[in-house]
Amino acid sequence: MDAETKERLMTPGPQVEAPQLMPNIRLASLARREENKVIDMARKQSYRRCKDAMQLFSDCSSKHTVGVVWRCNEMKNIMNECLRRANTVDDMDRARAIFIEEKLKTLDEKKDKPRTLIG
């Protein structure tokens, strides 16, 4: 595999669009459960961005069951480098901004509903 192909595979796809956060919302104002959801969201986004590199390693590992450690080492390194580049602090902030926007939308929808004892 030539260097240009390696670099193309190691480079993640385009970033996910995220809303601009309002200055009055603190990024650290999430509960641990919500922060875990943000981490999962960021992980899924990075998997989508690195799908070519992950597919390359997956194809290699499915062909070589016992020798996967030796024969697919280069593909594993390419996949890990792509995931490392796709999981930056900015990407985590982007996922957090998406989560906060969705949370604010659901809170606004709940605010308009009348509260009753019968569902």
Q: 73 pLDDT band (50/70/90 cuts)?
A: very high
Q: How far is CA 18 from CA 26, 42, 65, 96, in A?
A: 16, 12, 40, 9
pLDDT tens-place string over residues 60-70: 999 888 888 88
What tokens were used for 30? 């999430």
Residue spans of alpha helices (H) in 19-116:
32-49, 51-63, 68-71, 73-86, 89-112
CB 83 within 8 A of CB 50: yes
Q: CA geometry: angle at 22 spanning 93 and 113, to 5°?
A: 105
pLDDT tens-place string over residues 21-60: 555 555 557 889 999 999 999 999 999 999 999 999 999 9
- The residues, ordered by sequence, that sit 6+ positions from 71 with a Cβ below 8 Å of its Cβ are 60, 64
CB 97 within 8 A of CB 21: yes
